[in-house]
Every structure is written in structure tokens, then in C-alpha cells.
Structure 1
Amino acid sequence: MSALVLRAGVPQRGVELDLEVREGRVVALVGPNGAGKSTALGLAAGTLRPGSGQVHVAGRRVAGEGAWVPPHERRISLLAQEPLLLPHLDVLANVAFGPRARGAGRRAAQEVAQARLEEVGAAGLAARRPQRLSGGQAQRVALARALAPDPHLLLLDEPLSALDVDAAAELRQVLRTTLREAGRTAVVVTHELLDVLALADDVVVLEAGRIVEQGTTTEVLSRPRSGFGARLAGVNLVLGEREGPDGVRAGADVLHGLAGGEEATRGRAAATFSPRAVAVHLDAPGGSPRNVLPVRVTGLEQQGALVRVRAATASGTRLAADVTPASLAALGVAVGQDVLFVVKAAEVDIYET
């Protein structure tokens, strides 16, 4: 059964979505700023009316022509970047608020609240007021509050972005336990690869108000088919047309690699390879490497112990190479300089798109 079917649009925002979330799955919704992620959450939660199409939650039509179910009747919980706890109530009462609003008695609501606080590792905070909580503690309580009404679907809008590194790591593990391992259904908006790896069964990539890629987390990260998917996976991506049995052409750029047993010689295809597989040269290297791409350096960034050299070909293909600071110093590479990117065919993955 589908927990959420969202086939709806908001024309004034340039958003048109066709999204389905299966029951018991955690879906990471990713994409650049302005791609439509918040619009998707608003359509699901009921804080935004669709201009076209319809929305179903747990098989019930909640939005569309002639239908509108208000947010509080959709059995959906939202966990935002900020906890937004009620300051005049203690932690236990904050978490019990949802069950009470659904008609549970005081004792029953408190029992549910205590159970959810235990689940997120915050049982010892029950008697505190929100102002006495750290950021990580408050977000744990907010998660317990979101779980307490037993929602059909949990929406999480970058829930870790306001936390420091240590608190985010702890809450990420709590989310993995309470969502993915517990078999709950959720949509998580995030920009972080660690969130995707820890939490998501599936990944949906939005760009310019459209879904451009979706699949299991393994599928999207191992064989991305969109620019944002490639950046999330940390690989170079070249999209183009098949060039023979083992190549991809994008404009004047041709890359050869391993086709993984695919026999197609025509049609749309992608080539991916790690920035660490790219060697940077000032002059043509010796031997006969199959992939030698003339590029102009557009930027230099520190990437851990390496330096990421960002560059573009004359056809506009954007690529990156990760090299050691010593190698970069020896080459004397600077922004605006023309260099050669060289990558072995064995390091390039070729597949259909």
C-alpha cells in the first residue's frame, strides 16, 4: 500500500510532481535550493493547496478537485529544523499533546508520551521545560512529539541542520532506529549524504520543480542520472549519447569506459568516475590513454587532505579532479589555466539512462 501518492502541481511555483511513497519506506527528498522540496512537503501536509492534480494519504484523497482534508485530519506529523516546543508545557505534556488532540484521555496520552520519549532516549527529560533543553535534547523531544499521534506518514524538513556536529550524529542514529529500523514511513528533506546513507531506503531527486531521478539509495548513489545525484554521490557525471559499445559523447567530449555487459551502441547514456581517478597534466601524457580531456580550471577547493580542481571543457562539461597539494604545487595550476584531465577507461562506468 502507498502511504503517499502526490500527483499534483503548483503552477505559480513551477512545480509539477509525481511522487509515490510506499508504506514502511523512508524516502530522502534531495535537490538544490528552490527545486520544490518544501512545496512537496506542503502539498503532503496540507499547508499548501495544489493548483492541479490530487494528493492521497494512506489511500484517502486529501486534496484535489472537490476534495480538501485539513492538515490536522491527515494523520501526518512534521518535524522541522526548529523544535517549536510549547514553552508553557513540560516535555511530557508537549509529547502528550498530539494524542490528547486525537481524543485520548490524560493517562493514556501520558503513557504514549512516556513510551515515545523512551524510544528516542529522552525519558529522563519528561519533567523539564523546553527552555532547559539543549538543541539536541529539544529535537529528540520534537521527534517523540511527532511520533506520539502514530501518524501514517512523518515528514522531516532538514531536522539535523540546526544542530552541532556531535548532536546531529547522535540524533541521526536515533532517527535510523525510530524510522528505518522500526519500519515507519517517512519523507526526509536533506542536503547531507550522511543522512541519506543512514536513513533512506529510497532517494528522489528534484530539480526545477520536477523529479529528475528516483530509485533505491544504492541505485541512485552507484549510478546517478542527474547533476545533483552525482554531486551527492561524489562523482563526475557526463550525460550524452552512446558512442559505440563503450563510450559516451556529450558535445565534443567523448569518454570511454566499462559498459558492465550492456551491449547497446545507441541511445542516451551516462559516464561516471571518481574525482580521485583523474590525473591532471599540463602537457599530453605519454602512452595512449583513452580519456584525455582539455579543460579550463574554474576553481580550487580544499577537500580534506586533497585539493579539488574544478574545471570545464569547451563543450561545457563540468568535471572535478582531487589531487594532493604537493602535486598541485608542482604543476603550478591556477584558476583560468588550461590543463588536461586524464582518466583510465577502467575507472569509468558507462550505463544507459
Structure 2
Amino acid sequence: MSAPALSVRAAVPERDVEVDLDVPEGRVLALLGPNGAGKSTVLGLAAGTVRPGGGEVQVAGRRVAGERTWVPPHERRISLLAQEPLLLPHLDVLSNVAFGPRARGAGRRGAEQVARARLAEVGVEELAARRVHRLSGGQAQRVALARALAPEPHLLLLDEPLSALDVDAAAQLRQVLRATLRGTGRSAIVVTHDLLDVLALADDVVVLDGGRVVERGTTAEVLSRPRSAFGARLAGVNLVLGERVAADAVRAGADEVHGLASGPPLTPGRAAATFSPRAVAVHRAAPGGSPRNVLPVRVTGLEQQGALVRVRGETASGCRLAADVTPTSLSTLRVGVGDDVVFVVKAAEVDVYAA
């Protein structure tokens, strides 16, 4: 079994970051989390721009940072593709891409052969002689990707590489990245806030919050059964995370949600309940009868979601939930930010599982 492309078991005390994660060889890891969660610090630990205060970092089984060990960034065989291409303006496209192989000792002809192959791989071989100031944003980012691939890195770091592009250019580059990464078995970390990037590129997901790993798993596992607030937002579902109080119930503070238990049998301990915003009905007061899940909330926001309106609310226990309703229903209810309402969801719409 080959060593992971990246192994980080390290702390950066001055940033309150302490992480334990691996990127298996040949897989793409999506590193997710809110702003300030520690994602940039993890990339810095891998790239060599951040020194750990404890623990160690390994690249392809080689220790590159730790006690009495420090391998400088240019010797780690890690490439970075960031939001901005940062191409060298005094060189043409071919020379930009050939720069990495030349720096590793390749001759000019060999480096240019590699550069042409990488430009062809990302679909811009015809731009080889063009100066970088004549490239569009999407073209420049493709060239930057070719440049990152040219030195044959052990690991590619993708730091929100599509965020500065328009919708069409981002969609095109996303497909190029998918073919370049998933179609060739390269190893990579992608930092993104875009669900489409995760779905197109990632084999695995790690969610950071407060400088710690709070969730990890395959992409399918995290999106189908999130166990963190960020994972739930990405998957587009409501999450109640707390303690199991019955075979099919989760309690978080004063909030208790019943549903249908799935997966391995639930045991005492942490459990999660998830349900779609579209499964939630909004009432001014608790309805008659005996609906199983009735959650009083204070409305914190209203957002248009296509043909529906998303009503965001927070319970007294601090649980943040959302309901998707029609504009007609919202008009009838006369609901505004700051109002107290009731979210109602049937137990059959709630998935309960171990957390």
C-alpha cells in the first residue's frame, strides 16, 4: 500500500489550528469550512509557507516538517493553483509552463516538450506563443493549471481556483480539472465553497471548523449524512445535532426531533437528524392535532430560492433551520424578520443516524 500523498498531523498554536488528515495517493480531497476555519493554514503546512509548532507533515511518505526537520517549499514537489493565475508577465505562455521543469533541472527542449504536453492536456496548446497579457481570465487560469502540472508534483493544491472566473469560464475549467484530476489519478486538495466543485472533483471531504476537523468521509457520505453545520449547509438540508433520546429521536437543548432511524442501530451518544427545507411547513402558531415535530423559531432571514422563498429561523436553543415556502404562503402568513413562527415537519421526512 502506497504512502498518502499528504499526511498532516500538526498544530499551529498561534493560529489555534490542530489537524489530523491524510490525502490518499490518487484521490482528491475537498477541504471545506467557514472563513477562518483553518483551511489556508493546512495548505500552508503542506506547501511549506507555514511551520508547525508541533507534530509533523509528510509528502508521499517523506517527512518535510517536524521536530528538527524542515524541507523548503521548492523541494517538496507540491504545486499551487490559486484564485489568481500569477503568470510571469515577461514570458510567453510556453515559457511560463516550462519554468517549473527548467527549475527542476530539465533542459530547454525537454522542458518545452513537457510544457506543450501539459498545455494540450488542458486544451490551450494553441496559446503557446501568446503573451500572458493577451489571455482571457479563463485562458490564463488554464495556463496556470498547466504550469502547476508541468513539474509532475506529488500533490496539487487548488485554492478556490474558479472563484475569480465568470460562470461560463468556471464551468469550462471545472470540466478540465475533472478530466485532469479524476481521469489521471493525480492527488489534490481543493479548497472551495461551491457544491459544484465538490461534486465534480472530490473523492473525499474534510470539514474544518475552529481549526479542528469536525467531519470527514467520502463525498457521498458527507453530502447524504452531514454531521457538521457547514456540511449540512453544503448539502442543503437542516441539521439537528445532539444526543439520542429514543430509538428515533435527537435532542439538542430544548429542541427534540423524531424521524426514521437509518444506518447501523443507534446507540446512546451523539446523533443527527436531517430534513429538507422543502419538507418544513411554516405556521404562525402550533397547528391542531398532534404533528410530531413542532419547532418554535424566530425568523432571522428571508431569501429567494428560485420560485420559493427560504425562511431562515433560529430556535431558543440556537439551532438554525430553514423552510422553503411559496411567495403566496408567505404573503398569507405576513411573516417578516424578527417574527416568532412555528416550523412543522413530519417524522417521515426526517433521517436520524449516528453522529
Provide the C-alpha distance between the structure 2 equivalents of 1:262 and 1:174, rounded to a whole number of angstroms: 38
Change (3 A) 1:201 1:265: closer
Shift of 1:299: 1.1
Amino acid at match of 2:153: P
Other structure's SS at 1:61 match:
strand
Provide the C-alpha distance between the structure 2 equivalents of 1:288 and 1:67, rounded to a whole number of angstroms: 64
Do 1:243 and 1:265's aligned partners in 2 also have CA atoms closer than 8 Å? Answer: no
In structure 1, the residue matched to 2:201 is: 199
Structure 1: gaps spanning 5 or more residues = none
Map of 1:131-142 to 2, 5 A cutoff? 131-142=133-144
Other structure's SS at 2:298 match:
strand
Provide the C-alpha distance between the structure 1 equivalents of 2:51 and 2:262, rounded to a whole number of angstroms: 45
CA deviations 1:138-184 (Å, max 9, x no partner) are 00000000000000000011000110111001000000000112110
Do 2:263 and 2:353's aligned partners in 1 also have CA atoms closer than 8 Å? Answer: no
Shift of 1:261: 5.5
Map of 1:144-163 to 2, 5 A cutoff? 144-163=146-165
Match of 1:303 among 302, 305, 328: 305
Provide the C-alpha distance between the structure 2 equivalents of 1:101 and 1:189, rounded to a whole number of angstroms: 27
Shift of 1:265: 5.2
Other structure's SS at 1:166 match:
helix
Do 1:244 and 1:265's aligned partners in 2 also have CA atoms closer than 8 Å? Answer: no
Map of 1:86-105 to 2, 5 A cutoff? 86-105=88-107
Shift of 1:266: 2.2
Change (3 A) 1:261 1:97: closer
Do 2:4 and 2:60's aligned partners in 1 also have CA atoms closer than 8 Å? Answer: yes
Do 1:202 and 1:215's aligned partners in 2 also have CA atoms closer than 8 Å? Answer: yes
Do 1:81 and 1:162's aligned partners in 2 also have CA atoms closer than 8 Å? Answer: yes
In structure 1, the residue matched to 2:221 is: 219
CA deviations 1:246-289 (Å, max 9, x no partner) are 11111111111010164335211000011111011123324422
Map of 1:163-178 to 2, 5 A cutoff? 163-178=165-180
Change (3 A) 1:265 1:211: closer
Structure 1 range deviating more: 39-48 or 295-304: 295-304
Amino acid at match of 2:119: L
Other structure's SS at 1:155 match:
strand
Provide the C-alpha distance between the structure 2 equivalents of 1:184 and 1:263, rounded to a whole number of angstroms: 37
Match of 2:7 among 5, 10, 15: 5
Amino acid at match of 1:247: A
In structure 2, the residue matched to 1:77 is: 79
1:54 aligns with 2:53: no
Do 1:29 and 1:204's aligned partners in 2 also have CA atoms closer than 8 Å? Answer: yes
Shift of 1:202: 0.3
Change (3 A) 1:134 1:238: same
Change (3 A) 1:282 1:148: same
Provide the C-alpha distance between the structure 2 equivalents of 1:264 and 1:120, rounded to a whole number of angstroms: 47
1:345 aligns with 2:347: yes
Amino acid at match of 1:89: L
Provide the C-alpha distance between the structure 2 equivalents of 1:295 and 1:262, rounded to a whole number of angstroms: 31
Provide the C-alpha distance between the structure 1 equivalents of 2:144 and 2:311, rounded to a whole number of angstroms: 41
Do 1:120 and 1:140's aligned partners in 2 also have CA atoms closer than 8 Å? Answer: yes
Provide the C-alpha distance between the structure 2 equivalents of 1:339 and 1:9, rounded to a whole number of angstroms: 44
Shift of 1:47: 1.0
What is the aligned-residue RMSD (CA, Å)?
1.0
Amino acid at match of 1:329: S
Provide the C-alpha distance between the structure 2 equivalents of 1:62 and 1:116, rounded to a whole number of angstroms: 27
Map of 1:326-337 to 2, 5 A cutoff? 326-337=328-339
In structure 2, the residue matched to 1:322 is: 324
Structure 2: gaps spanning 5 or more residues = none
In structure 1, the residue matched to 2:290 is: 288
* TM-score, normalised relative to structure 1: 0.98
Match of 1:184 among 140, 164, 186: 186
Do 1:4 and 1:22's aligned partners in 2 also have CA atoms closer than 8 Å? Answer: yes
Moved over 3 A (4+): none
Amino acid at match of 1:4: L
In structure 2, the residue matched to 1:245 is: 247
Other structure's SS at 1:2 match:
coil
Amino acid at match of 2:47: A
Provide the C-alpha distance between the structure 2 equivalents of 1:122 and 1:305, rounded to a whole number of angstroms: 39
Change (3 A) 1:74 1:289: same
Identity %: 80
Shift of 1:241: 0.8
Provide the C-alpha distance between the structure 1 equivalents of 2:86 and 2:158, rounded to a whole number of angstroms: 13
